[in-house]
Structures are given as structure tokens and as C-alpha cells.
Amino acid sequence: MPNDDLRLTELLDELSRLGTEASTTERGDLDLLGTVDLVRAMNAEDRRVPDAVEACSTEIAAAVDGITARFRRGGRLIYIGAGTAGRVGVLDASECPPTFGTDPSMVVGLIAGGETAIRSAVENAEDDSDAAERSLRDLGLTERDTVVGLSASGRTPYVVGGLRYARGIGALTVAIASNQHSAIGAKADIAIEAITGPEFISGSTRLKSGTAQKLVVNMLTTLSMIKLGKTYRGVMVDLEATNEKLRARSIRTVSQLAGVGVEDASDALAGAHGSVKLALLMLATAADADAAASALDAADGILREAIAALS
């Protein structure tokens, strides 16, 4: 048998064992259902996702703690993935600077096929097992960093290769897959395998698998940022006010958390050069901007600790 035919046979056998590629007889009549019934059927499938993610709570918590520890040492979080999984990582990375005031280099999303693949499919990009390694080398990956590989099937060569390289460097490696005993899980220090089962449309892993990936990456960044002091009393206090809506949100946040009027909140923000966290500290302790900034630095940016130190 020619090598190409043998590889195809092996791949077909491999896919046949993946839950994300399975079909179910109960959905064989989707094209015959009315629209409301289709909506309800799809929603019923989607409701399975949170339970699948919850079953991975221990592994997710371990990843959050590992990521946070590396952030504190100046490390980065780097997502790698192909197709939908790659886009999920890129999306989460792009949301961190406006939400948490982070430097764009702190959380990075790499996708097989590069920038073009964010909007369009790039043929065979996910099959290049060396591409992620090249990108990670270009980023200057170190042992202080965390690399999170996303793949619904858990077998994407691009992700397998990237995790293999990252683990060899000594970086923390995390795998997010939708199948048990995944190839990427075997290459990672922490395997988060949220078993979402057959897709509503067989093999369309942008559906439940993609939703599970989004829920998990939300946790990885949001919870690590909470631990780094990027929130206070459940509110974003390191957001970057880069537009009118966010400027209004900054004023509202200071007003509500400090218990002052809009005018006082605006004045405090002006004195704090637009920093919500600094404005709140100044209002809570009557410290000037320099003293408040020094206290925040000493408290590693954790507002509660800075307030306690100045009170």
C-alpha cells in the first residue's frame, strides 16, 4: 500500500475513535425539523458544555495557579491552536489589554497559518508540526512562560509540536481538548479534557468543543488576573479607558466603589492619570497620587493590600 494510502487509513481509524467526530442516530432528521425545534435541540446540546467544563475544575485550577505564578515572575501566557481553537486563543489574548490593562505581550495568541488564518482557512497549516515551534522560538520562549495548546480532537500536529518544544524548554504546558487520553494531553503538564461528546452537526467542533474552549480560556485569564489584583470587589479596576464607553465605565466604577458622586470620581481619575485603581486608593485613604502609587507598587498592585497599608 502506498504511503499516502496507509496514512489515510490510519487517520480514518484515528478519527473513528474520537467522540468529537461521532454521529448520533437521534439527529439524523435535523433537516426535517421546524426552526423552533432546531433551536431547542441545539440548545439542549449546548447545555452539556458547562458540566463538561466543571468536571475539569481541578485541572483548570492547577493551570490558573501555574499561570499566575509565572506571571508574577514576568512570564507570559501563549496560546497555540489551529482553526476555531486557534481563533479562541487569539480572541482571549486580544481581550486582555483593554479588560485588565495588560501589555499586549503578556498574553499572546498563535494560530496555525498566521494572521490570515484568523479570518480564512489556510490549507494544511494545522498539519505542520514544526510551525508552532518556529513561532515560539521567534517569541523567545523561556521556562517562565506558559504555553496552552487548544485542539478539539486533541491530535492537531501543530499543537502537538508546539507543546513538545515548550515542555522541552521547561515552560509550563497546558492542553485543552475535547477527547480523553489526547495526544496533546500526553505532551502537557496539565491536561484539561472537557468531554463534550458528538457535535450537533457531526464533526463541527466550532460548536460544543469551541464553546468549551472559550469557557476554559475565560477562566485561565480571568482567574489569574483576579489573583494578580486586576479586580476589586468583583469589578475591573485595571481597565484601559480607550473609548467613550470605557471612560464612562471608569467614572461609574470609581463612583460606585468609593461611594462618591460623579464629579468627585472624575476629579479623582484626573488626579490619578486615568487609573481607576489609583483613584480608588486615593479616595479610600486620602493619600496623594505619589504615595498611593508607591503603596500599590509595594502591594504588587493588589488594591486591598495597599488600602490596608495606608489606612
- Is-contact 152 193, C-beta < 8 A? no
Cβ neighbours around 191 below 10 Å, total: 22
Q: Around Cβ 163, how many Cβ atoms within 10 Å?
A: 29
Q: Is 54 noted as a catalytic residue in this protein?
A: no
Q: Distance (Å, rounded) from C-alpha 4 to C-alpha 21? A: 22
Work out the number of other CB atoms within 10 angstroms of the CB of residue 144: 17
End-to-end alpha carbon distance in the chain: 78
Of the residues 126, 133, 193, 199, which is catalytic? Answer: 126
Nearest to 52, CA basis, from 180, 204, 201: 180
Amino acid at 120: S
Quick one: cell of 152?
478539539
Instruction: Please report where in the chains the cell 486580544 appears, as a residue.
Output: 94
Three-class DSSP category at 79? strand
- Residue 19 in contact with residue 197, Cβ under 8 Å? yes
Give yes or no: 95 in active site: yes
Enumerate residues 6+ apart whose C-beta is below 8 A from 294. Answer: none
Query: Which SS3 state, helix, strand or coil, does residue 179 take?
Result: coil
Catalytic residue (one of 10, 14, 54, 95): 95
DSSP string, 2-71: -HHHHHHHHHHHHHHT-GGG---GGGTTGGGS-HHHHHHHHHHHHTHHHHHHHTTHHHHHHHHHHHHHHH
Residues with a known catalytic role? 95, 126
